[in-house]
């Protein structure tokens, strides 16, 4: 049997579904039986990660760990977390379980620099929580790449409104209202020299294909899905040897 993928889901629910669909698309399968075993635990009651980081709200780690341990007990060989901001708590989650957790943000930076060897500046569209943590800044700096973000007004009134607003993506809206806000923010980063735009929030990933910009997008959940499939298939090959 190939390596069993565990998805620590619910942050948010739509992003969890999107990751699973990306895993299906990344799997070289001709029949149902060719697909990988994936165990998903969706716990939307995990407290908001951005609020925990910015204002010291309820710590999300206890529920994240509970979900991670459920997946480990269920037989997952490694875990995926389809939430960018949750990676701020990565070390605490990894220390609390005995199976590996794939670090989506580090994998995304690695993939971007492999695909675009001359990359020097990327634009980041992410929640204020993710921006504040410096997760992407640190990951890309390891490859000598600078990360730029929207100015404070755009971050609050375009990016955060597109994600969290009453007419935002977390509210189930994916039409021109949030898309237009993200487009304006992305284009401002391109004007500042960004050669690539990172969809650094899984809600941004959900609508990125509707956001027309003059440079490529990097979709971290898509990278995560590809890495997960490769890891699971490599596990299968090792067991066959």
- Asked if residue 2 has pLDDT above 70, the reply is no
Pairwise CA distance, residues 51 & 157, whole Å: 17
**What is the four-CA torsion angle of 209, 40, 44, 58, rounded to 10 degrees?**
-110
Instruction: Return the percentage of the chain with pLDDT > 90, whole number.
Output: 93
pTM: 0.92
- Asked if residue 1 has pLDDT above 70, the reply is no
Active-site entry in 46, 68, 83, 198: 83
Classified by CATH at the fold level, domain 105-220 comes out as: Rossmann fold (3.40.50)
State the average pLDDT over residues 56-72: 96
- Asked if residue 240 has pLDDT above 70, the reply is no
β pairing state of 5-9 and 78-80: parallel
Classified by CATH at the fold level, domain 5-104+222-240 comes out as: Rossmann fold (3.40.50)
Pairwise CA distance, residues 3 & 100, whole Å: 12
Closest to 210 in 3D by CA, of 232, 237, 181 = 181
Pairwise CA distance, residues 183 & 79, whole Å: 32
Pairwise CA distance, residues 143 & 156, whole Å: 29
For the chain, domain boundaries: 5-104+222-240, 105-220
State the average pLDDT over residues 220-236: 92
Q: At which residue do the structure tokens 């809206």 appear?
A: 173
Active site residue 201: yes
Q: Per-residue pLDDT tens for 126-140?
A: 999 999 999 999 999
Q: Per-residue pLDDT tens for 5-54?
A: 999 999 989 999 999 999 999 999 999 999 999 999 999 999 999 899 99
Active site residue 83: yes
Active-site entry in 131, 147, 201, 204: 201
């Amino acid at each position: 049997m190939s390596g069993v993928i565990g998805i620590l889901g619910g942050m948010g629910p739509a992003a969890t579904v999107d990751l699973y669909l990306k895993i299906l698309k990344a799997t070289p399968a001709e029949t149902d039986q060719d697909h990988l075993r994936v165990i998903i635990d969706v716990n939307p009651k995990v407290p908001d990660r951005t609020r925990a980081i910015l204002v010291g709200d309820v710590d999300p780690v206890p529920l994240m760990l509970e979900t991670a341990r459920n997946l480990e007990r269920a037989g997952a060989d490694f875990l995926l977390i389809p939430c960018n901001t949750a990676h701020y708590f990565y070390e605490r989650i990894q220390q609390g379980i005995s199976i590996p957790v794939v670090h989506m943000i580090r994998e995304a930076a690695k993939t971007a620099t492999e695909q675009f060897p001359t990359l020097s500046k990327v634009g980041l569209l992410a929640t204020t929580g993710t921006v504040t943590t410096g997760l992407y800044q640190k990951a890309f700096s390891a490859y000598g790449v600078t990360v730029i973000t929207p100015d404070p007004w755009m971050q609050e009134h375009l990016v955060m409104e597109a994600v969290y607003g009453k007419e935002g993506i977390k509210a189930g809206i994916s039409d021109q209202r949030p898309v237009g806000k993200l487009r304006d923010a992305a284009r401002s980063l391109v004007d500042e020299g960004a050669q690539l735009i990172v969809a650094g929030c899984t809600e941004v990933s959900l609508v990125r294909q509707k956001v027309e910009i003059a440079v490529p997008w990097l979709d971290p959940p898509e990278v995560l899905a590809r890495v997960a499939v490769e890891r699971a298939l490599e596990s299968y090959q090792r067991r066959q040897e």
